[in-house]
């Protein structure tokens, strides 16, 4: 956990590899990457508030909060992946603008998805966030394929020599996809299944009908 938090507040690895160490630029990279967590943090706090103070089923709020954490993690990983691609192909200012635009798209997508699926019904937050996380998992797989010519090249080429040194061959790293996308979703799914089975055991009438 300490290592992960350190990666959030430190200079991104692609920027370090390209020798970008100016404090202001590093701050912009950290800020734009951290902004990708904002929608998930907001809804996680809202779910936790429903868990502690809501008058509905607490297990739904708690499980929804877990899926918001998964969504925030996937958003951060996606942003980092596109940061790598854009640093290679563009200068610093266009890269930062693209990161901000990506955050706006992410915020809009999450807000519209939650509103469309729940229609203001907090009991539907769980399926909403499961759907959002699954879509982000698929997006991560696409992003991994798009950035594969860069991530499979070591060391990172500079933006000026990117066109000459990068391979045009795209591929999928199934180990990377499993570790960074499938495992978090799998853990959340397992916890959700346990919570659902526990609730069915305690209150079968609610789920199976009288």
Q: What is the pLDDT of residues 1-60, one digit of tens each?
A: 444 444 445 556 666 666 677 788 888 888 998 999 999 999 999 999 999 987 767 889
Compute and round to an integer the Cα radius of gyration of the chain. 20
From 22-36, 62-76, 93-107, the region with the lowest mean pLDDT = 22-36
Mean pLDDT rounded to a whole number for the chain? 82
The span from the CA of 59 to the CA of 126, in Å, is: 10
Question: What pLDDT sits at residue 178?
Answer: 80
The span from the CA of 60 to the CA of 42, in Å, is: 17
In the predicted model, what is the mean pLDDT of residues 122-138? 94
* pLDDT higher than 60, residue 87: yes
* pLDDT higher than 60, residue 167: no
In the predicted model, what is the mean pLDDT of residues 66-71? 96
Question: What pLDDT sits at residue 2?
Answer: 47
The residue whose two tokens read 């959700």 is: 192
Question: What pLDDT sits at residue 29?
Answer: 86
3-state secondary structure 164-192: HHCCCCCCCCHHHHHHHHHHHHHHHHHHH
How far from each other are the two terminal CA atoms of the chain, in whole angstroms? 45
Other C-beta atoms closer than 10 Å to the C-beta of 189 total 16
Residue 86 pLDDT grade (very low, low, confident, very high; cuts 50, 70, 90): confident
CA distances from 8 to 2, 19, 29, 77 (A): 10, 18, 10, 10
User: CA torsion 188→70→4→154, rounded to 10°?
Assistant: 110
Question: What pLDDT sits at residue 36?
Answer: 93
Question: What pLDDT sits at residue 109?
Answer: 95
Residue 18 has, within 13 A of its CA and on its CB side, a CA count of 27
Report yes or no: 65 and 51 within 8 Å, Cβ to Cβ.
yes
The span from the CA of 100 to the CA of 155, in Å, is: 27
From 10-24, 128-142, 185-199, the region with the lowest mean pLDDT = 10-24
Question: What pLDDT sits at residue 160?
Answer: 46
The residue whose two tokens read 């990666």 is: 7
Residue 193 pLDDT grade (very low, low, confident, very high; cuts 50, 70, 90): very high
């Amino acid at each position: 956990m300490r290592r992960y938090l350190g990666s959030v507040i430190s200079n991104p690895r692609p920027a370090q590899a390209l020798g970008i160490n100016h404090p202001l630029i590093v701050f912009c990279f950290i800020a734009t990457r951290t902004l990708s967590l904002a929608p998930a943090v907001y809804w996680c706090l809202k779910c936790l508030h429903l868990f502690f103070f809501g008058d509905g089923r607490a297990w739904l709020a708690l499980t929804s909060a877990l899926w918001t954490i998964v969504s925030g993690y996937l958003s951060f990983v996606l942003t980092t992946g596109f940061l790598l691609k854009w640093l290679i192909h563009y200068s610093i200012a266009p890269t930062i603008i693209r990161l901000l635009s990506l955050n706006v798209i992410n915020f809009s997508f999450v807000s519209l998805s939650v509103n469309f699926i729940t229609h203001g019904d907090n009991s539907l937050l769980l399926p909403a966030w499961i759907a959002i996380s699954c879509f982000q998992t698929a997006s991560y797989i696409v992003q991994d394929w798009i950035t594969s010519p860069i991530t499979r090249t070591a060391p990172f080429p500079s933006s000026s020599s990117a066109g000459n040194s990068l391979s045009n061959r795209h591929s999928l790293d199934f180990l990377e996809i499993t570790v960074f996308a499938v495992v978090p979703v799998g853990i959340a799914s397992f916890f959700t299944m346990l919570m659902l089975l526990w609730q069915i055991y305690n209150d079968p009438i609610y789920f199976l009908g009288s």
